[in-house]
Amino acid sequence: MSKVMIIGAGGVGRVVAFKCAAHPEVFSEILLASRTKSKCDDIAAAIGSDRITTAAVDAENVPELVSLIKSFGPIMIINVALPYQDLTIMEACLETGVHYLDTANYEPKDEAKFEYSWQWAYHDRFKEKGLLAVLGCGFDPGVTSVYTKYAAKHHFDEIHYLDIVDANAGDHGKAFATNFNPEINIREVTQKGKYWENGKWVETEPHEISAMLNYPEIGPKKSYLIYHEELESLVKNFPTLKRARFWMTFGDEYLTHLRVIQNIGMASIEPVMYNGVEIVPLQFLKAVLPNPGDLGENYTGWTSIGCRIRGIKDGKEKTYYVWNNCSHEVAYKETGTQGVSYTTGVPATIGAMMMLTGEWKGEGVFNVEQFNPDPFMALLNTEGLPWKEAHDIDLEL
């Protein structure tokens, strides 16, 4: 029985709050805190549990965070605000002696660049305090890294080729919308592509490499090679990997909108003056785009995310594919939000359960593939993200 504090009341925060509330045996009391308290109140009202309280907090302000943490007394924080707040929340955890979990690695606001170095640098300080910080526990990163660990543990002696494949075959009925925070999403998909091959990173132009891939129960979808953060920790933790890549599907309509947004300067993170006020074009764009958390009502179709792996078992080459398909409609019925928020919020909750039940232990800063994947994989099946696997099939890649 443990008190938990959730920071962030967007689509992902909503799912985490719903899922934590459904497990009183693990999460005895929940504080949902975010910049805008009314959003926390709406979620708490939708859940209707008397174990959830809410608060306003600026998660970039360490003293403010520290005082809220001290007044509530949680054992851990589930950070599902934005990547910009990761370091201040980690600082506040260190100051108050609280464990930490997040779903996205730190990004500085003024540079569209995400990497683990900033957060890995906290390892010794968390270790000295006897605290555990778990990084990247959404779906990708998160479940994809646990899948990789599970495959390496049970099905291979060595894994050599990893392709993470992420399809959103859903339809939200809007001309253009992003499935999670638009600012973070557009920063991620407009950057250069990058993959790991033969011991070094190979960079590509944005969307330069694509392939038509077949997704289970969905069919063929054009998939683009992009850089994704879990590749950085996976190549470090699985040194036998000769190649590691990440593929994501984008529709033609989405890419056309994205191109226009970039060409007219709306994806820029350089501040401009408008009517005497400094604004960041990409942040302004976020304000006029549909709120990802509100897309759920009319969202139909599936997401499909998995790992396609080739390696060696008992001296023979073998292939393995492990994946989850998630229905946007089913996610909406359960939590009032769409599949992308759901596939992120459920693993974050399971990760917190792993920490609070002692299945995942450690002192310092860790990525999810450094822990035992088995109890996590078992909970995916019962918490709404069941997985399937196939052996010795054509991986297409």
CA dist 18 and 28 (Å) reads 13
Contact positions with ligand NDP (CB under 6 A) in 172-211 = 180-181, 184
Contact 292, 179 (CB under 8 A): yes
CA dist 107 and 85 (Å) reads 9
CA dist 83 and 52 (Å) reads 24
Contact letters for ligand NDP, residues 239-278 (x by CB under 6 A):
----------------------------------------
We find the least distance from the C-beta atom of residue 228 to ligand NDP, in angstroms, to be 9
- In the bound state with ligand NDP, the residue whose beta carbon lies nearer, of 148 and 319, is 148
- Quick one: which of 268, 273, 265, 263 has its CA closest to 283? 268
Query: Strand, coil or helix: what is 1?
Result: coil
We find the least distance from the C-beta atom of residue 39 to ligand NDP, in angstroms, to be 5
- Find the binder of ligand NDP among 6, 44, 104, 177 (CB under 6 A): 104
Cα dihedral 235, 237, 239, 243 in deg (nearest 10) = -30
We find the least distance from the C-beta atom of residue 316 to ligand NDP, in angstroms, to be 33
Contact positions with ligand NDP (CB under 6 A) in 73-102 = 80-83, 85
- In the bound state with ligand NDP, the residue whose beta carbon lies nearer, of 168 and 319, is 168
Catalogue the E-assigned strands of the chain. 2-7, 27-34, 52-56, 76-79, 99-102, 132-135, 158-168, 193-197, 200-204, 210-215, 219-225, 243-249, 272-274, 277-279, 302-313, 316-327, 364-367, 388-391
CA dist 175 and 113 (Å) reads 28
- In the bound state with ligand NDP, the residue whose beta carbon lies nearer, of 319 and 324, is 324
Q: Which two tokens stand for residue 369?
A: 């593939």
Instruction: Give the total of residues touching ligand NDP (CB under 6 A).
Output: 34
We find the least distance from the C-beta atom of residue 333 to ligand NDP, in angstroms, to be 19
- Within 13 A of 229's CA, how many CA atoms are on the CB side? 29
- In the bound state with ligand NDP, the residue whose beta carbon lies nearer, of 113 and 391, is 113
Query: Strand, coil or helix: what is 230?
Result: helix
Contact positions with ligand NDP (CB under 6 A) in 6-45 = 8-13, 34-36, 39
- In the bound state with ligand NDP, the residue whose beta carbon lies nearer, of 8 and 364, is 8
Of all residues in the shown chain, the one whose CB is closest to ligand NDP is 10
CA dist 332 and 294 (Å) reads 10
Contact letters for ligand NDP, residues 124-163 (x by CB under 6 A):
--------------xxxxx---------------------
CA dist 35 and 40 (Å) reads 9
We find the least distance from the C-beta atom of residue 242 to ligand NDP, in angstroms, to be 25
Contact positions with ligand NDP (CB under 6 A) in 320-359 = 340-341, 344
Binding site for ligand NDP (CB under 6 A): 8-13, 34-36, 39, 57-60, 80-83, 85, 103-104, 138-142, 180-181, 184, 292-293, 340-341, 344
